[in-house]
């Protein structure tokens, strides 16, 4: 039986990312995966969305990790020449009485240090997405999607 410095359980996005970054400290790492290949559980059953961090409670650990993780993910994916697509992401309300909800969400994003947020009125929304019947919106410029399978494969072979 061989001894290992580190044992990582699960070869999804999180397990492979941890292994990749800790491999600079040790080459004696064991990754245990119950499936026949990497990324066959939750990591292959998601929207592949890169979230801005706007939805989490103000100053929460989850919000801070989301904002920092998004920045690191963009840097890593661009550095590894993997595809990433930033989307026009609008969160909107169609009723005037709901403007307060949009403003609260926007303010939460600002408090959580989410970059690239912009509060839009009806005309600004129509200039971006014509045919949307919205009165207020938040434009989140840092929201995106990426190919998580290529990302995991790159981590796996590294």
* Catalytically annotated residues: 51
Write 31-36 long-range contacts (CB < 8 A, 24+).
31/7, 32/7, 32/8, 35/11
Strands ordered across the beta sheet of 89-93 = 89-93, 136-140, 117-121
CA count, 13 A, side-chain hemisphere, 135: 11
**What's 57's DSSP letter?**
P
Strand partners, 145: 49, 85
Three-state DSSP state, 106: helix
Is residue 100 exposed (0-12), middle (13-18) or buried (19+ Cβ within 10 Å)?
exposed
């Amino acid at each position: 039986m061989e001894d290992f410095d580190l044992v990582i359980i699960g070869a999804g996005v999180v397990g492979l990312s941890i292994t990749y970054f800790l491999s600079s400290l040790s080459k004696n790492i064991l990754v245990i995966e119950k499936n026949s290949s990497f990324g066959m559980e939750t990591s292959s059953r998601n929207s592949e969305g890169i979230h801005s961090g706007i939805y989490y409670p103000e100053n929460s650990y989850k919000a801070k990790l989301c904002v920092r993780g998004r920045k690191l993910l963009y840097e890593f994916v661009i550095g590894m020449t993997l595809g990433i697509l930033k989307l026009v992401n609008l969160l909107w309300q169609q009723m005037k009485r709901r403007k307060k909800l949009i403003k609260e969400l926007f303010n939460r994003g600002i408090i959580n240090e989410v970059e690239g947020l912009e509060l839009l009125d009806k005309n600004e929304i129509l200039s971006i997405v014509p045919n949307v019947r919205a009165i207020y919106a938040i434009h989140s410029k840092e929201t995106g999607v990426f190919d998580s399978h290529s990302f995991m494969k790159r981590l796996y072979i590294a």
